[in-house]
Structure 1
Amino acid sequence: MADAADTARTPVSPSAIAAGRWVLDPAGSTVRVRHKTFWGLATVSGEFTAVSGEGEVAADGSARGTLTIDAASLDTRNTQRDAHLRGADFLDTDQHPEIVVAISGAVPGEGAAVTVDGELTVLGRTRPLSFTARLTEATADAATLTADVDIDRTGFGMTWNRLGMMRGAAAMTVTTRFTRR
């Protein structure tokens, strides 16, 4: 019998996911963000604590769906910084309460890889989004995907950068756990 460490190393095949409708399990899903600041000397990390979503897997194993993030749920464990990030300089959550990832196609690749294409909407601006996710769990009733995605915040109009302190893209690690509806 394989132990937990062996199971974690064994690739999970996307073909193990049954066709049908799936719903996001918020308790098993996380959206974390990291961004270098202070001229690359420090990293600000946070997590969006409220996410929802759903998807549909076709008979051929391809999938589509939506992930909705409550922009005001960003928590960096610093109240003053969180208020600034939720304000007009960054997420402007009063005017744009949601960040939406609309997946138009998720296609199984080799091993546990899933090629994902869609659109990301932040601050009312929609941009194409493509990345590779890893299927880390696949059972008859649950599937978990994890992806690391770099997002250029300036492409969405977030250009605040006092004294040039913030450089480069924000790094996001997204883990989504879906359960069979």
Structure 2
Amino acid sequence: MTLVYWTKVQHALLQNQSIYVAATEQGVCRITWPSESWETLVSWVHRHIPDATLVESEQQLAPYLKQLTEYLDGERSQFSLPIDLRGTPFQMEIWKALQQIPYGETRSYSDIAAHVGRAAAVRAVGTANGANPVPMLVPCHRVIGKNKNLTGFRGGLHFKEALLTLEGYHEYNRKGHARFEF
């Protein structure tokens, strides 16, 4: 049996809407967006950690919440938290590449595809980016269209824009939402 500790968090940058943060003994494994429900968290945990038991514990998650809150408050630009990523080998490769994008900078989907040596896999990069289980810690919001347009984002483009603005990045185009414009 694997214990998965979870708690609910609200923050002004997320329009005081709730997100769920979950962690195993190995590290944070899932952060939801405000548009995602408790059922989203439960479904993800049961799919990726079949022997899991969910245990509510703000105390167990205190170090994660501290750094996440510091980031959302604009007081932290890097995380030093253990992460328990669970995904396919390709997803893991993409998520590792996302973690190399510096705070306040962006890359395009095609940049990420080229970085991992799979230049033709631009759409697959977008899919892996969208499946990121720990947004903000693995900064999927730092990936935008090569024409600088904000593109599809599981958390909602307004949150992507809020996170980029928090990091001081303003060189994106607000117009348009071409889901497959990588």
Same fold (TM over 0.5): no
Structure richer in strand, relative to its length: 1
Q: Which has the higher helix share?
A: 2
TM-score bin, normalised by smaller chain: under 0.3
Larger Rg: 1
TM-score w.r.t. structure 2 length? 0.24
Structure with bigger RCO (C-alpha 8 Å, 6+ apart): 1
TM-score scaled by length of structure 1: 0.24
